[in-house]
Amino acid sequence: MSTRSSPSSSLIAGMRPVGRDALLLEVRSPDDVPAIAAAVSAHLDSPDPAWSAGDVVPAARTVLVTGLTQPLAVVARDIGAWTIPPLPANAGPLVTLPVVYDGPDLGDVAGLWGTTADAVATQLRQLEFRVAFSGFAPGFGYLTGLPQELAVPRRDTPRTRVPAGSVGMAGRYVGAYPRVSPGGWQLVGTVVDTALWDVERDPPALLMPGTRVRFTDA
Amino acid sequence: MPNRGVDVVRAGTLVTVQDLGRAGYAHLGVPGSGAADVPAHSHANELVGNAAHAATLEITAGGCEIRARHTTVVALTGAHAPLWVGSVPAPFAAPVRLAAGQTLEVGTPTSGLRTYFAVRGGIAVDPVLGSRATDVLSGLGPKPVRDSTILPVGSAPSVTQADFDRLRRRVIPSAYRDTNDDSARASALINVRVQLGPRDDWFTTAALGALQGTEYEVTADSNRVGVRLAGAALERAVTGELESEGVVTGAVQVPASGQPVIFLADHPTTGGYPVVAVVEPQDLPLVAQARPGDRVAFVASARPAV
C-alpha cells in the first residue's frame, strides 16, 4: 500500500467503459484499491463535483464507478489527472469477531498448510485483516491479510448450503457468510454473537470496505 | 388491516413489489433491484398520478386477481394482458377506476413477460434501505406476494372526474398501446443493442462473431437475476480466472459454459466471469420483457476508447 500520494496513472493501469454510464478502473496492485475507491468517494462528496455517480464498487483489482452523469471520456480524463492520497495505515475502524473454530474444512486447511487445526486457529488469531471489498451478498466482505503462501483453493464442489456466520477461505481471501447461502469456500469456523448484516442498523454491514478485522476467541 | 389497500386475491406465477430500487449500496454487496422494466413501471405510476418512485406490483406472466379495498384508480402497463373489472373488459395502459370491493383480473400476457400494476398512492409496505423492492437474490425487501395478501396503499388526494380525464389524456408510448394482435403470441425475435466490453478482449474473434451473428434462445432458467441464453458457446481468448469485479445491470456475462447471461435488476454486485458486452439502456426493457422461447439477436457497437 502506498504511503505517499501518487499520480493516479501510476496506480491505475487502465480504464474501460462499461456500457454508456459506467467506468471500470483497473488497478495495478490490489493494495491500492481502497485508496482509489476512497478518492472517488471523496470526489463525489465534495461540494459541487464536476461529475457525479451512483455507486463506487471496489473489488479485487478494480474499482467500478456506475451511473456517471458526464461522458466517460470526460470522467476518465479527470481521474487520470488526480493525485491519489494514501489511506492512513489505521484508517478503518477495528472490528473484532468472536470465532469458534469448528468448520468442516478446518482439517483440510491444516493439511494444505502442513500443520495442525490448532495451529490454523492460532495463525488466524494473530493476523489483522482488512475488508478489501464487498460483493456476492449483502454484508459479505472479502478480507485480505492472509500471506500469499497460506492461500488455499476453493472446494472442488461448492456446498448448496453454508450456515450463516461461517468463516471461509478461498485464494488469499477470508470471508464470513452473513446468512445461509450456497458457497464454495473452505469453512474453518463460525462467527458467534455477531450480526454481520442488519438492515435496521446504520450502516447495515458490519464489515464495510476499509474496516480492519481481528478474530478473537468466542 | 389497512382500510386503504389492495387485496392480492390470487398472485399467479410471481408478483413482487417493485420501485426504482436501492441505489448506492452496491459497495456493501446489495443488488440494485427495482423494476426490471423501469419505463413500464414509471409509466404505470404516471397514469395514476403517482411519482415515479412509488411502488408498483410487478406481475410476471399474468394470472393475477386484485381487489380494491377502497375506491381508487389503477393502471397496468408493460406486458400487454387482457384485463377485466368484474366481467367487463378494462383498458390496458390507461387509468381504470376501481370501486371499493371491485376485483381486477389480469389475464395472460399476449406478448412480453412483466406487467406493472400501479395504484394511486403507491404500494406502501415498509421500505428497506430506502426501497420497497423485492430482491429475489439477496432476500431484501418484502417477500414475493402470496395469495390472499393485503397490501397497504399510500394516501393521495382523491381523483375528481377532471383529474381522471387529465390522466386519461396522458401520452401512451406505442409499445404499450392496446393491441388485438394475436400474432404477438408467437415467440419473438428481440434485437438487443449492446456495447462491447469491458472484457470483450477475453473472447476470440470467432466468439465475438457468434455473439453478433447467431441467435440465442431465452431459457426457462431466467428470472429477475438474469436472462439465461442458450446458443453458440462463446470461447475465451484468455486462460486463467478473472478476479471478481463490479458488474452493471444489462451486463452480458459469460460463465465457464460459454452460454451468456444478461443481468437484470437483482444481479449480484460483483462477478468473477468476464462481461463481453453491456445492453444499451434503451433496449434493457426489451430484455426485461423477454419470455422463455424468445430469441435474442445482439447488435454490437465497439467499446469506445476513453
Is B270 in contact with A136 (Cβ distance < 8 A)? yes
Is A57 in contact with B27 (Cβ distance < 8 A)? yes
> What average pLDDT does the structure give for chain B?
94
Considering Cα of A49, then A51, then A56, then A60, what sign does the dihedral take?
Answer: negative
B245–A contact, CB cutoff 8 A: yes
Phi, psi torsion values for B87, nearest 5 degrees? -110, 15
Q: Which residues of A touch B252 (CB under 8 A)?
A: none
d(CA B48, CA A177) in angstroms, rounded, equals 42
Is A199 in contact with B140 (Cβ distance < 8 A)? yes
Q: How many CB pairs under 8 A join A and B?
A: 127
Confidence of residue A175 (pLDDT cuts 50, 70, 90): very high
Distance from CA of B268 to the nearest CA of A (A): 6
Distance from CA of B209 to the nearest CA of A (A): 19
pLDDT exceeds 70 at position A127: yes
Condensed to tens digits (0 to 9), the pLDDT of residues A206-216 reads 998 889 999 99
Q: Predicted ipTM?
A: 0.93
Residues A99-126, mean pLDDT to the nearest whole number: 97
Shortest CA distance from A201: residue in chain B? B129
Question: Nearest-CA neighbor of B274 among B206, B212, B201?
Answer: B201
Distances (CA, A) of B97 to A26, A30, B79, B122: 54, 58, 20, 15
pLDDT exceeds 60 at position A165: yes
The three cell numbers locating residue A107: 482439517
Beta-bridge partner residues of A12: A27
Beta-bridge partner residues of A65: A23, A56
Q: Are A182 and A155 in contact (CB under 8 A)?
A: no
Alpha helices (runs of H) in A18-71, residue ranges in sequence order: 33-45
Is A59 in contact with B245 (Cβ distance < 8 A)? yes
Distance from CA of B305 to the nearest CA of A (A): 8
- pTM of the predicted structure, to 2 decimals: 0.93
Is A199 in contact with B24 (Cβ distance < 8 A)? no
Is A138 in contact with B275 (Cβ distance < 8 A)? no
Distance from CA of A15 to the nearest CA of B (A): 7
Strand residue runs (E) in A67-145: 83-84, 94-100, 129-134, 141-144
The three cell numbers locating residue A85: 492520497
B89–A contact, CB cutoff 8 A: no
pLDDT at B186: 67
Is A20 in contact with B195 (Cβ distance < 8 A)? yes
CA-derived radius of gyration, chain B: 20
Q: Are A137 and A127 in contact (CB under 8 A)?
A: no
d(CA A211, CA A214) in angstroms, rounded, equals 10
Considering Cα of A110, then A116, then A117, then A120, what sign does the dihedral take?
Answer: negative
B240–A contact, CB cutoff 8 A: no
The three cell numbers locating residue B84: 377485466
Beta-bridge partner residues of B116: B58, B77
Is A24 in contact with B30 (Cβ distance < 8 A)? no
Residue type for position B68:
A
pLDDT at B184: 53
pLDDT exceeds 90 at position B183: no
Which among B23, B269, B305 is the nearest to A135, CB-wise? B269
Greatest mean pLDDT among A135-144, B232-241, B287-296? B287-296
Residues A122-130, mean pLDDT to the nearest whole number: 96
Q: Which residues of A touch B278 (CB under 8 A)?
A: 18-20, 22
